[in-house]
Structure 1
């Protein structure tokens, strides 16, 4: 058989021909197109005895490790373990490097250990960086920090203690495992620092959230760069990340001028655009966006986020429609922006559009969609999303973010039992998962269960954070658990290391005042270590409105309006407080003041989901397609209430004085939650509960009416108001009439 025309021809067909030289063979090996060809080459080398030479064996193993299209470190390791001759250091390094970047970096560290114990070779300036990369891999976990420190000790005793490549690998390791102080100490002591050294430190500081330190190092590097190492694009990207996190707009602008528009790559332009958006400077972002000659999906998505954050949803929608190839990140940007901007309906509509466009939602999409469901009370859609997650679990990892969102959605949509099921079945439970479940229990008035879960969280070795304390204190407030709340607030700092913030003090004021202990509440407010903020005065005002404490309520309202002059809720609470005591002249003054300042009472709205459609109601609403049936059922309900002896609570529950008692009763009967209850009775059947979402606090008359309706019609009614849930069943409410 004649020899092939070229060495590459030997790899075509089922067999491998002989070669004129080992060199030609090894050249072909370096160009192996696929795994099958490498296996045939391996067989050929065995027959020719080439694997008895360490260099040739190393080339085969390297081919299995570095070919981008078919690299197979596990196959390389099997070849390695069956070599007839001891491998050289090059082969060890290749194998350690391949496994450091694989899904099992532990193997790289194991191979490094074998190198030390089984061979006469000593690690060189390539071995140490590969092993350090493995130690820094997230998959190695906490043991990686110990392994890396041991490697550092070996480097200090080696000839490579001053090698900048090895030192940079150590800096990267310490930054990756979160030991930034150790990295800085090493950096300061390094005899030589190149641009990679600076970039590694600045990037690590920015990623760790230590943005002041990152920016200080950038300035230091820029000053030293005049006589030494100058910042490059990587440096600027890290500095811009820190500027965005810290909202350092002026420094970001200075960096922009420092770089110069002519030198900007697309990646750098996108980074500047992102920085301007995060700093809230839409003008700078728009000017840069308009100047950019080249734009990609990242540029347009970043600009879209900026427009949406600024509330310019119309422009954001137009830009979204102009993007030619919308990936999931682009859809996520607008879906999340609508949800975070308090426009859950638009968020859900866009989510449905994404599904119709065959866009596979990722975790970001689903978290935003679940949050929108929670805002709207769209339980059916939330259940559908949960089902989608279960069906697609193979590519949608059920992480703590999704678990938290599911618990929050089910809790806020009125299905606490399902929220508890999700919590019980969760594999990973971090502090946010626990906090969400504690909040859910608190919203339903199950304060004791919330406190017990809070204690169980600690027994599970999960430390509470500030959010967990807010949630458990709120749960105490909804259930009137004064002593438990006082104990928790008292123990926050000494027992848990969490400094009480304004929201925690506000929750404690709410606990005391709701329970009628106004003297203790006022003492707490007067003795705060910081000036009382709006949440504190708001909590006190709300309790005063409930208990009819006019003088204290006036003071709380005055203090609140000093801090938030346009807080319409404060005026409404004060007006209700005056109305409750029959001071209609004062009510009129408040209403006049609101009008002069361009403020209006937020209208009461209730919504109910039926068949995946959310139906909304305003007080006295006549716009619903089934309005005749709704009002007929409402008349039936009112007749039932009168027959049962229900006396409408007309005293002081409207912002203006209504002279005729019959007119007052009529006004109460047309409250949005009563319309929603009537709609629920005609549109759903037992035993499904009637689930209603109310944007304001439910009034006392509607609360009393709901108890009687649940008993007369034998229907469960789950009503969510602004602060909590009321579960009506057989004439009783889960809140125990304490809300």
Structure 2
């Protein structure tokens, strides 16, 4: 009894006979057959003496070549079945091949299974179909089944089977098949050799791929391309370009696949010059009209930073597709041309090209760069309407966009509803919280990530270490450092630099230096970070010694190096040395000073009391001084109580940054130090009229892995009673030791006029934090405090007394630098 599957072909057969085209072809073939024109085909294709059988055989074979879809193949298949040709091995191979060509492997497999006799060609056709269309596991299973049926593979079998191994990354099976190839003496066949190279490369065994390549007695352009592509796909782009040069020198002309591989490698490496050479080759060979080639050129130029040429190429393309638009939009986005990316997207919509999830990712990156929340929300709405929200890459881009635009709540909401999360998602939410200053929350997410199956990677570490640094969370930083060591990530230069910075900002300079010394490889950032660390800790001479060591290496200082060096000189009062390094910037290293370098020199001179020299230096600066330069001089005026110069400097600052609270507060402090309370009141009134609000002073301290924060006069802490009792006790002991409160300044975090009793009763945030640290930690333990503003004179003096009374080291990090208080003195030597 015929199956339903066979009946369907009978029905299709009757439909086929209604087609005039088939009848016409059938009559023509029959006529030619009678004339003897197909005798060669008859001899090869049919073993029956019946002319009708042979004519039907030829007709069906010819009709199969005209099929354009599965439906038309089905119709011819019906004729094959009705004509009794379904067991013919030639037609069977043709049918299987056609079904495979149109990805209809189920039909192809049923044809194959009904064949009574199967030769190696028929097995190869089905194996090739599965290797190309999947599932690739079936291709490998068939390879072993054919041998069980007594059919031995030939040299045409192995390329298909090796392709299946490559797609599955089935290295072990690939190696076994390689052994079969050697045993059957097919290893020297160029097609088999090419397939072996490609298989090993795609399985990540590039060394074995190279070994096979080197052993090949004969090579063609496919051989070279397979290894070039393998090198590029395994992160060896430089080697891929070197091999490409060797290929050209050997006289092989690259094909389109080679050019695509090499252009991608050039883009990833930023190898613009070689990319331009390949561009010339493409023009010479007339391949610029190929859309894939043109798209790769656009992407290469964009990744190399030359978006102007990329756009020229894009505009000159006679035909574009979605990849073309995506390449150009991504190029704009990745090179900081966010506005152009959004404008091009509008043109894309006018061209009726439907965007995909990759388009949305690039646009969201542009919105994040522009901090344009409105456009980002519009794209989010489009993503929801288009059903793209299930795309993990796109959702991660949305999380990143909301975080960069300051809407961390929406970023958290999106992250919470994600059905699955990879390390990129976790990295985005952690980095987003760090970007928004929510460092404690970033650490919370990091701890949650460790409870999942997703393992933190080097990007996670680089993202979370700044959170520890900002919070001065030394214990948490050490735990993360331990995780980095266990994970084998410590050798990563970027991670090493982040660890140095973390220890610097957590007050552990010795740990920072130890990490620096352990690094096998250093870059300019490594040196800059350690020099900066010594500078902010007041160790100017040590910072300069490190700079001298750097000069003995192959790493050249950059403009940031000199900012670190000059800042270190400023904090340590090394005026002559600072001036010397400033002068050598341009003379020895060709680095033109910018506003940050000029600000460092003004600060260097001003702190040391050379206010007139600082003013003269500003007046001779090339170009107009920026706010950082004037701000450095105003800070010096506050230190040295120079009212007239301070007023003159403040006028410039109020013009440049009229709404910045810090400038008003500094001038107010200058007036307060001189007892000019009327002027203080005017400054405060001016600030209220302008709506200028200064940041309230806040101090943080870590106790038992928990952050405790305090503001001036804070009584909200659960242990507030004990804290104030400790402050009263300390105040009595300090007064007995000779401490006299300083009441001549309007402090940053006090709203009303300074009154002496406020220094004891309500107190400043750093004093509250110190008192809490004393009652909450073991005797003798160092106490580390972080303050968001510059420490005031009174708190600085008081902390020196406290360190001696309680016999503890107190480390205070303010907005400018570190102060290490010990035995009644400070590491800054009161020069701050």
Establish whether residue 183 from structure 1 lines up as the match of residue 275 from structure 2. yes
Unaligned runs of 5+ in 1: 1-18
Question: What secondary structure is seen at the aligned counterpart in 1 of 2:653?
Answer: helix
Partner residue in 2 for 1:492? 585
Establish whether residue 97 from structure 1 lines up as the match of residue 198 from structure 2. yes
1:92-241 alignment runs, 5 A limit? 92-109=193-210, 111-115=212-216, 119=217, 121-124=218-221, 126-134=222-230, 136=232, 140=236, 145-154=241-250, 157-158=251-252, 160=253, 163-189=255-281, 190=283, 191-193=286-288, 194-221=290-317, 225=318, 230-241=319-330
Asked which structure has the greater RCO (Cα within 8 Å, sep 6+), the reply is 1
CA contact (8 A) 1:695 1:721 kept: yes
Deviations 1:298-317 (A, max 9, x none): 33332333233222333333
Partner residue in 1 for 2:809? 716
CA shift in 2, pair 1:623/1:67, >3 Å: closer
CA shift in 2, pair 1:728/1:24, >3 Å: same
- Inter-partner Cα distance in structure 1 for 2:158 and 2:564: 62
Partner residue in 1 for 2:356? 265
Shift of 1:514: 1.6
- Inter-partner Cα distance in structure 1 for 2:259 and 2:754: 85
Of 599, 604, 609 in structure 2, the residue corresponding to residue 511 of structure 1 is 604
**Alignment coverage as a number of residue pairs:** 704
Question: What secondary structure is seen at the aligned counterpart in 1 of 2:694?
Answer: coil
Partner residue in 1 for 2:379? 288
Shift of 1:29: 7.3
Shift of 1:416: 1.9
Question: What secondary structure is seen at the aligned counterpart in 1 of 2:386?
Answer: coil
Q: TM-score, with normalisation over the residues of structure 2?
A: 0.76
Question: What secondary structure is seen at the aligned counterpart in 2 of 1:418?
Answer: helix
Question: What secondary structure is seen at the aligned counterpart in 2 of 1:617?
Answer: strand
Deviations 1:446-486 (A, max 9, x none): 12222222333343423333333322322222112223323
Establish whether residue 247 from structure 1 lines up as the match of residue 340 from structure 2. no
Establish whether residue 444 from structure 1 lines up as the match of residue 534 from structure 2. no
- Inter-partner Cα distance in structure 2 for 1:306 and 1:177: 27
Shift of 1:23: 4.3
Partner residue in 2 for 1:5? none
- Inter-partner Cα distance in structure 2 for 1:624 and 1:148: 68
Question: What secondary structure is seen at the aligned counterpart in 1 of 2:478?
Answer: helix
Shift of 1:490: 2.6
- Inter-partner Cα distance in structure 2 for 1:692 and 1:186: 58
CA shift in 2, pair 1:352/1:494, >3 Å: same
Partner residue in 1 for 2:463? 368
Question: What secondary structure is seen at the aligned counterpart in 2 of 1:263?
Answer: coil
Deviations 1:378-424 (A, max 9, x none): 22322332233334x05x57523322222222221222222222222
- Inter-partner Cα distance in structure 1 for 2:234 and 2:583: 38
- Inter-partner Cα distance in structure 1 for 2:794 and 2:307: 53
Shift of 1:25: 6.6
Question: What secondary structure is seen at the aligned counterpart in 1 of 2:730?
Answer: helix
Shift of 1:684: 1.0
- Inter-partner Cα distance in structure 2 for 1:62 and 1:366: 38
Shift of 1:690: 0.7
CA contact (8 A) 1:109 1:134 kept: no
Establish whether residue 682 from structure 1 lines up as the match of residue 775 from structure 2. yes
CA contact (8 A) 1:105 1:140 kept: no
Larger Rg: 2
- Inter-partner Cα distance in structure 2 for 1:187 and 1:610: 61
CA contact (8 A) 1:65 1:94 kept: no
CA shift in 2, pair 1:538/1:232, >3 Å: same
Shift of 1:262: 6.5
Of 799, 802, 807 in structure 2, the residue corresponding to residue 706 of structure 1 is 799
Question: What secondary structure is seen at the aligned counterpart in 2 of 1:628?
Answer: helix
CA shift in 2, pair 1:140/1:716, >3 Å: same
- Inter-partner Cα distance in structure 1 for 2:444 and 2:649: 41
Of 639, 655, 663 in structure 1, the residue corresponding to residue 757 of structure 2 is 663
Partner residue in 2 for 1:551? 644
Question: What secondary structure is seen at the aligned counterpart in 2 of 1:582?
Answer: coil
- Inter-partner Cα distance in structure 2 for 1:271 and 1:209: 16
CA shift in 2, pair 1:268/1:63, >3 Å: closer
CA contact (8 A) 1:607 1:693 kept: yes
1:587-598 alignment runs, 5 A limit? 587-598=680-691
1:346-361 alignment runs, 5 A limit? 346-355=441-450, 359-361=454-456
- Inter-partner Cα distance in structure 2 for 1:330 and 1:70: 30
CA shift in 2, pair 1:319/1:92, >3 Å: closer
- Inter-partner Cα distance in structure 2 for 1:109 and 1:660: 77
Shift of 1:568: 0.2
Larger mean Cα displacement after TM superposition, 456-465 or 506-515 = 456-465
CA contact (8 A) 1:689 1:718 kept: yes
Partner residue in 2 for 1:8? none
Of 390, 401, 407 in structure 2, the residue corresponding to residue 306 of structure 1 is 401
- Inter-partner Cα distance in structure 2 for 1:330 and 1:613: 26
CA shift in 2, pair 1:665/1:205, >3 Å: same
Larger mean Cα displacement after TM superposition, 725-734 or 368-377 = 368-377
Partner residue in 1 for 2:101? none
CA shift in 2, pair 1:661/1:597, >3 Å: closer
Shift of 1:22: 4.3
CA shift in 2, pair 1:210/1:104, >3 Å: farther
Larger mean Cα displacement after TM superposition, 678-687 or 168-177 = 168-177
Of 478, 482, 497 in structure 1, the residue corresponding to residue 571 of structure 2 is 478
Shift of 1:610: 0.4
- Inter-partner Cα distance in structure 1 for 2:260 and 2:213: 19
CA contact (8 A) 1:328 1:359 kept: yes
Question: What secondary structure is seen at the aligned counterpart in 2 of 1:246?
Answer: coil
- Inter-partner Cα distance in structure 1 for 2:176 and 2:235: 21
CA contact (8 A) 1:466 1:498 kept: yes
CA contact (8 A) 1:374 1:413 kept: yes
Partner residue in 2 for 1:379? 474
CA shift in 2, pair 1:448/1:25, >3 Å: same
CA shift in 2, pair 1:67/1:712, >3 Å: closer
Of 664, 667, 670 in structure 2, the residue corresponding to residue 571 of structure 1 is 664
Establish whether residue 623 from structure 1 lines up as the match of residue 712 from structure 2. no
- Inter-partner Cα distance in structure 2 for 1:660 and 1:438: 38
- Inter-partner Cα distance in structure 2 for 1:692 and 1:266: 46
Deviations 1:306-343 (A, max 9, x none): 23322233333333333333444333323222211222
Establish whether residue 342 from structure 1 lines up as the match of residue 437 from structure 2. yes
Larger mean Cα displacement after TM superposition, 72-81 or 165-174 = 72-81
Shift of 1:266: 3.4
- Inter-partner Cα distance in structure 2 for 1:446 and 1:435: 14
Establish whether residue 422 from structure 1 lines up as the match of residue 515 from structure 2. yes
Deviations 1:484-543 (A, max 9, x none): 323333333443344432222222222222222233322332233332111111112112
- Inter-partner Cα distance in structure 2 for 1:475 and 1:80: 67
CA shift in 2, pair 1:164/1:148, >3 Å: closer
CA shift in 2, pair 1:622/1:661, >3 Å: closer
Question: What secondary structure is seen at the aligned counterpart in 1 of 2:708?
Answer: strand
Shift of 1:180: 1.0
CA shift in 2, pair 1:56/1:597, >3 Å: closer
